[in-house]
Amino acid sequence: PGTRKYTGMVEDCCCDYETVDAINEEVLHPILQELVTLPFFRYFKVKLWCDCPFWPDDGMCRLRDCSVCECPENEFPEPFKKPYSGLSPDSMICQEGKPQATVDRTLDAKVFKGWIETDNPWTYDDETDNVAEKNIISAEMTYVNLQLNPERYTGYTGDSARRIWDSVYKENCPKYPSEEMCQEKKVLYKLISGLHSSISVHIAYDYLLDESANLWGHNLPLLYDRVLKYPERVQNLYFTYLFVLRAVTKAADYLEQAEYNTGNPEEDLKTQSLVKQLLYNPKLRSACPLPFDEAKLWQGENGPELKQEIQKQFRNISAIMDCVGCEKCRLWGKLQVLGLGTALKILFSVDGENHLNQSLQLQRNEVIALVNLLNRLSESVNFVHEKGPSIEDVIKQQ
Ligand code: FAD
């Protein structure tokens, strides 16, 4: 067995590499792997045919495998088809003058109030207040069974893919030069770089090794060339994993109370139980109680302006996902950026206050994206941990 290359604390986080690998392997990875196969988490709502707001679509996908198969109407869960049940009309009416108004709302332990349509200031959605436009957008959305459309090698390369990554890095989160850049901008860069590493790891994990024989398998040289050779890319992968994990555990009350109803009581009970195991796992809680400390950010004088600036940059990154010229890459790009946007929303809650429980409201699709993103990152950490040391040894011997 090879020797461990990464030791000590994950940069800017609160857990060390050994602990992350251990809790991921023993606890989180097995739970997440099962969770994402259950009906609630396997259907993602997405608008795949989108107009790129920045340049003409120049789809460059070599493999047929690049396209996504959408779910037929009868496949996805019945409750997902209904309009959001949302808040009961009563809870939306001003409580003033009613007996309930005397109750201190800070003691309200019920934080989940039904799935609702709610804006996310961190992501680019087709925002419109016009009801007719809302209906058109909603008609263009389809459900995709994520289990049938795994993130893997698609043959999407060349100028089109390069242009997306270039604009994400150059326009929105230029690589931080030494210590000049503030902590918050560094976080945005690291989240994007960590996601990029994870996408590369999935390409290496599930690669078309022989096209004529349709033989798929691991491409370890690719894993090394694109990720392992650059320690910073590995560090950013671990950082992003811990950041998203912190968001999930911070929203524990909300996620525990959320409705995981898909019309299949047996599967839904399993979903609820696995969510609880994920949120309140004693091993995780004792080994890595605070995977990332968000309270350290936005403390400077210009915190609010800085947050708005970074929010705008992240929204741009989210909009650029509509320009990804391969359907399957666009699906996973959109899902994972929505997952990151959801983590940002949870950690730096909507109004910037720390009263998370009072203001947090998530859409069903945001929760689906968040958990699937955590699973993808967990898979990447697992693969890097498993294969990293042995590849490094082979390279050293060459
Ligand atoms: P790229 O991965 O395109 O990298 C471009 C440049 O970015 C590199 O030269 C380097 O300077 C820098 N860079 C690379 N990694 C990092 C990092 N972790 N941190 C910081 N900087 C970095 N292809 C598939 O086969 N399957 C997919 O599912 C898929 N999904 C994609 C999703 C999105 C959103 C995008 C934009 C692309 C996707 N692609 C996918 C394409 C894939 O990411 C690569 O762009 C493609 O394989 C070409 O790789 P490359 O070697 O040219 O380097």
Supply the ipTM of this predicted assembly: 0.99
Q: What is the pLDDT of residues 30-56, one digit of tens each?
A: 999 999 999 999 999 988 776 777 776
The number of beta carbons lying within 10 Å of the beta carbon of residue 157 is 14
Distance of CA 81 to the CA centre of its chain: 23
Residue whose CA is closest, atom 19 of ligand 1? Answer: 193
- Angle value at C-alpha 361, between 360 and 365, nearest 5 degrees: 135
Q: Which residue has the tokens 């990152």?
A: 377
Q: How far is the CA of 168 from the centre of ligand 1 (A)?
A: 11
What pLDDT does residue 299 have?
78
Q: Are 249 and 283 in contact (CB under 8 A)?
A: no
Rounded CA-CA distance 392/397 in Å is 9
Residue whose CA is closest, atom 7 of ligand 1? Answer: 165
Q: Which of 357, 373, 327, 303 is nearest to 123 (CA)?
A: 373
Q: Name the percent of the chain lying above pLDDT 90.
A: 50
Number of H helices, E strands in the chain: 17, 4
What does the pLDDT average to over 273-288?
95
Q: Are 123 and 315 in contact (CB under 8 A)?
A: yes
Q: Name the burial class of residue 353, with classes exposed (0-12), middle (13-18) and buried (19+) by CB atoms within 10 angstroms of its CB.
A: exposed
Pick the more confident residue, 209 or 97. 209
Task: Kindly write down the DSSP assignment for every residue of 108-141, as one continuous string.
Answer: -------------TTS-------HHHHHHHHHH-
Token pair for residue 279?
């949120």
Token pair for residue 102?
């005397």
What confidence tier does 133 reach under pLDDT thresholds 50, 70, 90? Answer: low
Q: Which residue has the tokens 């019945």?
A: 78
Residue whose CA is closest, atom 3 of ligand 1? Answer: 162
Q: Which conformational region is residue 94 in: left (phi greater than 0), alpha (psi within -120 to 50 degrees), or beta?
A: beta
Q: Which of 231, 205, 241 is nearest to 23 (CA)?
A: 241
**Lowest model confidence (mean pLDDT) among 62-71, 240-249, 328-337:** 62-71
From 156, 224, 235, 373, give the residue whose CB has the most ligand 1 atoms within 8 Å, as the site to mutate. 156
Please give the mean pLDDT across all residues of the chain: 83
What pLDDT does residue 376 have?
98
Residues with CB under 6 A from ligand 1: 151, 153-154, 156-157, 161-162, 164-165, 193, 196-197, 199-200, 203, 226, 233, 324, 328-329, 332-333
What does the pLDDT average to over 320-334?
90
Q: How far is the CA of 244 from the centre of ligand 1 (A)?
A: 21
Q: Which conformational region is residue 158 in: left (phi greater than 0), alpha (psi within -120 to 50 degrees), or beta?
A: left
Report the nearest atom of ligand 1 relative to the CA of 233. Answer: 18
What's the whole-model pTM score?
Answer: 0.88
